[in-house]
Amino acid sequence: MKYLTTENGYRSPNTRLSWLFRRFPSVFCYVRMARMLQLGSQAAKKGNYSVERRVDDSLKVVEYLEDVGVRFEVENTSAFRKLESPCVFISNHMSTLETFVFSCIIEPYRKMTFVIKEGLIRYPFFKHIMVTLDPIVVTRENPREDFRIVLKEGQERLSRGISVVVFPQTTRNPIFDPSTFNTIGVKLAAKAKVPVIPIAIKTDAWGNSDWFIRDFGKIDPNKPVHICFGEPIDIQGNGKAEHEQIVRFIEGKLREWA
């Protein structure tokens, strides 16, 4: 298994950049990623896409972004590395970047999967790779049914030692709005009796497109990527206080990074 880092954090090294990469960051990133996804999809369709391969491809995404000038700072990975149980990761959601990059940060240390929208398992190439994660799939059309699915399948994954990543926002947004940040992750953790690890992220270096495919927008190397893990939180009672604690953690880190 390869690692982004074996330390408590990670910061991109200072490297000399190619003029072409600096001039056309989106083109070079997505061309390289398209080839990676094609090969990964072929392997996944044959049942040959291992956790090690997924982590390696996730590391390649970090490399491709760093090659065009995007800089990463990851903080406090020991928050989840020291846990003896699976957990529910609860994160704000800015872009497609976190869906790719969380794997190389988390999976070398613990099994994980995502709660994802149904559309992600329909994308060409990408869908075969996502299926290897055994994700919890929701439609985003019927909140009550989605809630039932997340609680049922989430508890099942957690009982098998698989941590679950939840993005409580209804859609990706560079602006964090607590009113759209629902409590499904907290309720899942309470039901399964596992801790929550909050994650604050700033990943707007990878833009959301207004055109054909929203997930693949402009890459802006002038915007650093920040990912910070909070300390474990045990859920008590209805989880309202813990949910507010998670929101405060994310808001605080976003203000710090701004």
**pLDDT tier at 121, thresholds 50, 70, 90:** confident
Extended beta strands in the chain, E state: 10-11, 72-75, 88-91, 112-117, 136-138, 163-166, 196-202, 225-229
Q: What's residue 79's pLDDT? A: 97
Of 3.10.620, 3.40.1130, 3.30.960, 3.30.420, which CATH number belongs to 17-257?
Answer: 3.40.1130
Q: What is the full DSSP assignment across 94-129?
A: -SSHHHHHHHHHHTTTS-EEEEEEGGGGTSTTHHHH
Question: Each residue of 195-220: pLDDT tens digit?
Answer: 999 999 999 999 876 554 556 789 99
Mean pLDDT estimate for the chain: 93
Q: What's residue 106's pLDDT? A: 97
Give me the half-sphere count of Cα atoms (radius 13 Å) on the Cβ side of residue 197.
25
Q: What are the two backbone dihedrals, phi and then psi, of residue 227, each rounded to the nearest 5 degrees?
A: -135, 120
Q: What's residue 120's pLDDT? A: 76
Q: Which residue has the higher pLDDT, 119 or 148?
A: 148
C-alpha to C-alpha distance for 258 and 156, rounded to whole angstroms: 38
Question: Each residue of 224-258: pLDDT tens digit?
Answer: 999 999 999 999 999 999 999 999 999 999 999 99
DSSP 206: B
**pLDDT tier at 22, thresholds 50, 70, 90:** confident
pTM here is: 0.94
